[in-house]
Structure 1
């Protein structure tokens, strides 16, 4: 008689896992305060006091800057918009190369394209999945102008090595900290470790306002450019005194503004970040310890001197220690034992093989077609994108890495015990999968 649910056996758990919902009465009251004011946004895309937004926007930006210990926090309507602003502020132009990660949400890799920049993919580290400094160094040419690092899954990048490379070659470091609010390297927060850092307030992040993002920097000139690009730069640069060709670079603006309501919600969410982060870290430690009994699983490594934020819980699978069972089959069997999650009913069980397909294997890069049909901006470069470019990334994605979200706040010890039991059950009955 078969024991595994994937083969018709009894499912280990059927009642759904609890939702991850951080919205409470504080956010409700904040929204009502804004609604009663009648001012859902006071932005103006012209030179005026309201060019910088209304009272809720400014209060939120001040709170974010204080929390993260930076001079400037600039709110935007998404982390994607924040990355586009940051690349523009860095002065990227047609033909400039920007080193990016192949293993992240696509926004950090495509942001350079908006200014004609060419993404150059460096490989990732084997055990932390951030950009590998040695690979970054090999990819630098006379055309390289910036590095976009990603604190993937909540793990801070190799700050000292990457920043030293950037200083040596006079490069701007843009830090994508969308998955790492509250993560730290030594005494500094992720997002504040480079020249500019970008955070996300998308609905499935640690804290959220539905949609939204924040850019941080300690550089006054960069902050000025970020605020301009966010809000119709071309309409106000004369008032700013910009006139030289150098000052006018990338001063074509967007409407990347957050609303008063979103900022009011985000300010309340920020207050909850420390406790939410502590719960994530404790839950991951609990699951890591419980899974040590399964030889084919490798638990998470946190970089020395760092604190991980655990947007998701990454682990690795070694098929050679699982009797030849492939990762994908093993994880499919684990998922068959478990239920879906409340408020994520349209999603599968929140465990996945790999993360995202290496970005350079996506059609846009394979065919080098982005804006228009003639290959802009790839036609400024002879760089090609193909399988084998980042072998560590490819091996992790297709063979070893898997992630899950079943460690978020709201999951009880009993809930997490069921997750562990599902892995143990599949391990003990793995012969059914051969």
Structure 2
């Protein structure tokens, strides 16, 4: 369908195009160029972490991170059900068990109180997400992780650049993952990264992402034998993606500024009865990767109405624990996570991107108001 207003548009400029063009014209090092290490250095500096390792997706990054941290068979990992499914799937990739905990109603992140209820001797890690560009209650979750001596792994896929006071998300946990998929704050098309302060984890990540190969030299430019010392995967980020990431990261502050400005404008336009717009705590800096409203009744009817007007909307997220797979695999059922299920039945994400115009936002708000008047 051709949308008048899509859910998102990728922000790009001539510098992005030139950065990729340069790699292609180089004629070599498309998979192992210097831009990969440069991008990793810039990411680690931006987030104030010692190390960053890039991957071909955020899912690969999380999978590898769990392997690097030694998560294994029968370990339990506490995750939200209100998330993209890869957060829950990653523990299964390493034969661990995802344990779904409730979310709270402020940020739609993991509820610290329910997390404490779910911790037991088998619990090895907590993986909170920062929903839609807003910090979750990460400080409270960190206290719990420290008290119970379990790992805190931040899923920062949607919230690069967000922070609490002056501390950026991705710097609270033992490690964190990022995503550069096309609808994120900055994008490499597909791509991801891990940030950490642990040299041991850093070294393991590099081995696992590249077949378990000990790369003392560049594999593609050397004729020397290189040993394989562990089981690994082909999870590397291509050079042209890293080059695009470097170009995008240079303008992340201006991209976030545009997102926050648009979010502020749309919030004012939508301050109507029947619509709830979540508000972050005062010391939270939201980058608005998503703009999500809540409507208590007729959410699906509003979604259809907006579609008929050419405005794309989407539900982020339907509960993972109620997917066919997790009901069959782990026995979850309706009613197991009532807050998650209630929120998931009421949320609707509206278009949000840096180049969204006031005219487009007016059109969005006008049609929501028309729907509410009719209904």
TM over 0.5, shorter chain: yes
Cα offsets for 1:286-313 (capped at 9, x unmatched): 1111211x21111121134211121111
Match of 1:416?
361
Match of 2:208?
229
Cα offsets for 1:105-158 (capped at 9, x unmatched): 111111011111000000101131111001111001110000111011111121
Match of 1:162?
141
Query: Contact (CA 8 Å) 1:355, 1:403: kept in 2 or not?
Result: yes
Match of 1:171 among 143, 147, 150: 150
Query: Contact (CA 8 Å) 1:102, 1:121: kept in 2 or not?
Result: yes
SS of the counterpart of 1:130? Answer: coil
Match of 2:264?
285
Question: 1:197 aligned to 2:176?
Answer: yes
Pairing 1:118-157 to 2, within 5 Å after superposition: 118-157=97-136
> Whole-Å Cα distance in 2 between the matches of residues 39 and 68 of structure 1?
30
> Whole-Å Cα distance in 2 between the matches of residues 62 and 25 of structure 1?
23
Instruction: From the superposition, tell whether residues 386 and 66 of structure 1 become closer, same or farther in structure 2 (CA, over 3 Å).
Output: same
Instruction: From the superposition, tell whether residues 33 and 15 of structure 1 become closer, same or farther in structure 2 (CA, over 3 Å).
Output: closer
Please identify, of 415-424 and 28-37, the stretch whose mean Cα deviation from structure 2 is larger.
28-37
Match of 1:16?
4
Compute the displacement of 1:251 (Å). Answer: 4.4
> Whole-Å Cα distance in 2 between the matches of residues 257 and 39 of structure 1?
16
Compute the displacement of 1:15 (Å). Answer: 8.5
> Whole-Å Cα distance in 1 between the matches of residues 160 and 39 of structure 2?
15
Match of 1:188?
167
The TM-score, its normalising length taken from structure 1, stands at 0.79
SS of the counterpart of 1:351? Answer: coil
> Whole-Å Cα distance in 2 between the matches of residues 92 and 332 of structure 1?
43
Query: Contact (CA 8 Å) 1:151, 1:157: kept in 2 or not?
Result: yes
Match of 1:217?
196
> Whole-Å Cα distance in 1 between the matches of residues 265 and 205 of structure 2?
41
SS of the counterpart of 2:115? Answer: helix
Instruction: From the superposition, tell whether residues 237 and 40 of structure 1 become closer, same or farther in structure 2 (CA, over 3 Å).
Output: closer
> Whole-Å Cα distance in 1 between the matches of residues 181 and 71 of structure 2?
26
> Whole-Å Cα distance in 1 between the matches of residues 187 and 53 of structure 2?
16
Instruction: From the superposition, tell whether residues 365 and 17 of structure 1 become closer, same or farther in structure 2 (CA, over 3 Å).
Output: closer
Pairing 1:260-299 to 2, within 5 Å after superposition: 260-292=239-271, 294-299=272-277
> Whole-Å Cα distance in 2 between the matches of residues 290 and 364 of structure 1?
40
> Whole-Å Cα distance in 2 between the matches of residues 115 and 21 of structure 1?
33
> Whole-Å Cα distance in 2 between the matches of residues 420 and 218 of structure 1?
44
Q: How large is the Cα RMSD of the aligned pairs?
A: 2.1
> Whole-Å Cα distance in 2 between the matches of residues 185 and 15 of structure 1?
35
Match of 1:404 among 340, 350, 353: 350
Compute the displacement of 1:238 (Å). Answer: 12
Count residues in correspondence: 362
SS of the counterpart of 1:204? Answer: coil
Q: Unpaired runs of 5+ in structure 2?
A: 218-228
Query: Contact (CA 8 Å) 2:5, 2:312: kept in 1 or not?
Result: no
Q: Unpaired runs of 5+ in structure 1?
A: 1-13, 43-52, 240-249, 320-325, 340-348, 369-382
Question: 1:34 aligned to 2:23?
Answer: yes
SS of the counterpart of 1:262? Answer: helix
> Whole-Å Cα distance in 2 between the matches of residues 111 and 413 of structure 1?
40
Compute the displacement of 1:253 (Å). Answer: 1.2
Query: Contact (CA 8 Å) 1:40, 1:261: kept in 2 or not?
Result: no
Question: 1:428 aligned to 2:373?
Answer: yes
Match of 2:307 among 311, 327, 335: 335
The TM-score, its normalising length taken from structure 2, stands at 0.91
Compute the displacement of 1:103 (Å). Answer: 0.9
Match of 2:326?
365
Cα offsets for 1:56-75 (capped at 9, x unmatched): 11111111112222111101
> Whole-Å Cα distance in 1 between the matches of residues 323 and 343 of structure 2?
17
Please identify, of 300-309 and 99-108, the stretch whose mean Cα deviation from structure 2 is larger.
300-309
